[in-house]
């Protein structure tokens, strides 16, 4: 029987909307608040936040209760169960966006589990940890939901005496996972003002597939989607 390739083929018009974002910063920089603004994107009815460390407590004042559900989780089993149910629409509501806040905490649980399962083969354990991390990101990216991975920032000292701001992930996932999202934004807060950076820099991880400004002050995901959607419309008008 001939393979039906039509179900695998994508058209350019199907790949214009952002599908996955990664936000990273030090604690208290506004990344949880920025992630929650995805609930205000036009066309999005409901957002799920999978809260692994209580990041949402006190940080989401003013958001619409009807737009956001928060599920706290404290174990790898709980995390995987919630994510699987949300991705497969097995919950009371269908979600348009899923936020994992914070993803490095969930990876820490996975790391503990895999190292305990593979005490005799640490190399396999670390390979499994990297695969688990990438699989979560790919599942979100390839689903019909918009995904946001929220992570802590890790400052890495270089042999030259300088430093680079990276994401707080264990093993090789810290190097490979940033290649999966459409956008990687470094978030900073100074004097109550949150700034998101997506410029190319040797000192920080960044990625920008949707023509975002290199620096956005007090950004929201409604604004980010507007930029991405307008960029696509502009390209169509220029033909």
Most confident of 89-103, 148-162, 199-213: 89-103
Distance set, CA 216 to CA 55, 123, 149, 201, 232 (Å): 22, 41, 19, 16, 20
Mean pLDDT over 119-130 rounds to 92
Q: Give percent of the chain with pLDDT exceeding 90.
A: 73
Burial of 7: CB neighbours in 10 Å, binned 0-12, 13-18, 19+: exposed
The per-residue pLDDT for 202 is: 62
Take residue 36 and report the two structure tokens written for it.
């929650």
**DSSP secondary structure letter of residue 98:** E
Q: How far is 239 from 234, CA to CA, in rounded Å?
A: 9
Check whether 205 has a pLDDT greater than 60. Answer: yes
Q: What residues contact 142, with CB distance under 8 A and at least 6 apart?
A: 19
Q: Model confidence over 39-71: pLDDT tens digits?
A: 999 999 999 999 999 989 889 999 999 999 999
Number of other CB atoms surrounding residue 126 within 10 Å: 18
Look-up of token digits 């005799």: 120
Question: Residue 213: is its pLDDT beyond 90?
Answer: yes
pLDDT of 200 > 80? The answer is no
Mean pLDDT for the chain? 90
Q: What DSSP line would sit under 19-72, residue for residue?
A: -EEEEEESTTSSHHHHHHGGGGSTT---EEEEESSSTTTTT-TT--TTTEEEEE
Alpha-carbon Rg for the chain, nearest whole angstrom, is 18
Average pLDDT over residues 184-189: 95
Domains of the chain as residue ranges with CATH: 18-237 (3.40.50.300)
pLDDT score of 17 more than 50? yes
Confirm whether pTM is higher than 0.95.
no
pLDDT at position 13 over 70: no
pLDDT at 197: 93
pLDDT of residue 82: 98
What pLDDT band is residue 145 in, cutting at 50, 70 and 90? very high
- How far the first Cα of the chain sits from its last, in Å, is 40
What is the structure's pLDDT at 163? Answer: 79
Average pLDDT over residues 146-165: 86
């Amino acid at each position: 029987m001939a393979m039906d390739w039509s179900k695998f083929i994508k058209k350019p018009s199907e790949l214009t909307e952002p599908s996955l974002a990664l936000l990273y910063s030090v604690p208290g920089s506004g990344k949880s608040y920025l992630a929650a603004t995805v609930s205000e994107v036009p066309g999005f009815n409901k957002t799920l936040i999978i809260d692994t460390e209580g990041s949402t407590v006190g940080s989401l004042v003013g958001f619409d209760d009807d737009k956001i559900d928060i599920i706290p989780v404290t174990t790898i089993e709980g995390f995987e169960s919630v994510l699987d149910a949300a991705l497969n629409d097995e919950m009371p509501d269908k979600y348009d966006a899923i936020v994992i806040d914070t993803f490095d905490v969930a990876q820490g649980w996975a790391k503990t589990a895999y190292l305990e399962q593979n005490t005799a083969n640490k190399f396999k354990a670390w390979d499994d940890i990297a695969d688990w991390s990438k699989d979560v990101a790919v599942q979100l990216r390839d689903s019909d939901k918009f995904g946001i991975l929220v992570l802590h920032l890790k400052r890495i000292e270089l042999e030259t005496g300088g430093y680079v701001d990276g994401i707080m992930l264990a093993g090789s996932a810290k190097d490979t996972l940033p290649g999966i999202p459409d956008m990687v934004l470094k978030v900073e807060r100074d004097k109550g003002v949150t700034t998101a950076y997506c410029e190319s820099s040797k000192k920080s991880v960044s990625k920008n597939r949707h023509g975002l400004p290199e620096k956005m002050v007090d950004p929201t995901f409604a604004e980010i989607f507007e930029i991405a959607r307008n960029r696509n419309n502009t390209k169509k008008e220029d033909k």
